[in-house]
Amino acid sequence: MALDERRRHVILYGMRKTVVLSFLLAPFLAGALAAACPDPENIDAEMQALFARANKAENFRQGQEISDAMWRAWLRAPDEPAQAALDAGLARRGAYDFAGALKEFDRLAKYCPTYAEGFNQRAYIHFLREDYDKALGDLEIALSLQPLHVAAQSGRALTLMNLGRLSEAREQLLIAVGNNPWLSEKALLAEGAPLGPSGKDI
């Protein structure tokens, strides 16, 4: 009985010590759990090489393969939590759960404020919901972080077009197509198309 009583006191003392220690370390533990997302890798050289290949591609198949390689580079998140949020958002978007996708991309943008793809993907959700002002805002951020993001360039062109800012949209799309001439949006620059030479601002 005495041994059990001593053991009980030892256990209680240990528990109290653990509680106090946890309280003192709480700020540091919280910081560790909410560690900042690392900056994304610099992919400028990779993009420039892909741009050069895209402009030398001889057919649609080659152009599509290069376009896919660009996407693989943009979709490489800085760490595992960021990749998980990105993949979850893409999956929800693929299931037409735009509200759920927006929540995931909000989380990604907050966690990784220097990763362009979080803002680009969130912009696409805003675009699909026809909230063009919000889409444009996120695209501006994405391009400030990754100026060579062709999908964000073409997305910005489409958004500006839907806002009626046709000359700006055409200028932006010309830049995007100059980087990757295999973009489907290139058709918008044809004669008589919304952003073609005959297009006029409204």
**Residue 75, in any domain of the structure:** yes
Question: What domain range is 93 assigned to?
Answer: 44-189
Tell me the pTM: 0.81
The amino acid at residue 137 is: G
Distance, in Å, from the CA atom of 48 to the CA atom of 14, rounded to the nearest integer, reads 60
Query: Are 122 and 109 contacting, i.e. CB atoms less than 8 angstroms apart?
Result: yes
Is residue 2 situated within a structural domain?
no
DSSP letter for 192, please.
Answer: T
Domain membership of residue 23 (yes or no) is no
Candidate from 23-37, 70-84, 104-118, 163-177 with smallest mean pLDDT: 23-37
Count of structural domains, the chain: 1
| Mean pLDDT lowest among 29-33, 89-93, 150-154, 166-170 | 29-33
Q: Give the pLDDT score at 110.
A: 98
Residue where the block lists tokens 């993001």: 149
Using the structure block, give the residue that is written with the tokens 């409204």. 202
Q: How many Cα neighbours within 13 Å face the side chain of 71?
A: 10
Contact assessment for residue 74 and residue 52, using Cβ atoms and an 8 Å cutoff = no
For CA atoms 201, 173, 87, 93, give the dihedral sign. positive
Q: What is the pLDDT of residue 35?
A: 74
Q: For residue 166, is it within any domain?
A: yes
Please report, rounded to a whole number, the percentage of residues in the chain having pLDDT higher than 70: 81
State the chain's mean pLDDT as an integer.
Answer: 87
The pLDDT tens digits of the residues spanning 11-52 come to 344 434 433 333 444 444 334 335 799 999 999 999 999 999
Residue 86 has pLDDT above 60, yes or no: yes
In whole angstroms, what separates CA 152 from the centre of its chain? 10
* Residue appearing with tokens 């893409």: 90
Predicted confidence at residue 198, as pLDDT, reads 67
Rounded to whole angstroms, how far apart are CA atoms 61 and 58?
9
Domain assignment of residue 3, yes or no: no
pLDDT at 135 over 50: yes
pLDDT of 64 strictly over 90: yes
pLDDT at position 200 is 52
Check residue 2 and give its pLDDT.
Answer: 36
- Do the Cβ atoms of 159 and 132 come closer than 8 Å? yes
pLDDT at 147 over 90: yes
Looking at residue 165, its amino acid is R
CATH number, domain containing residue 172: 1.25.40.10
The yes-or-no verdict on residue 170 having pLDDT over 90 is: yes
Task: Identify which of 120, 182, 130, 128 has the alpha carbon closest to the alpha carbon of residue 153.
Answer: 120
In a domain, 196, yes or no: no
In a domain, 52, yes or no: yes
In a domain? residue 39: no
Structure tokens given for 96: 């037409």
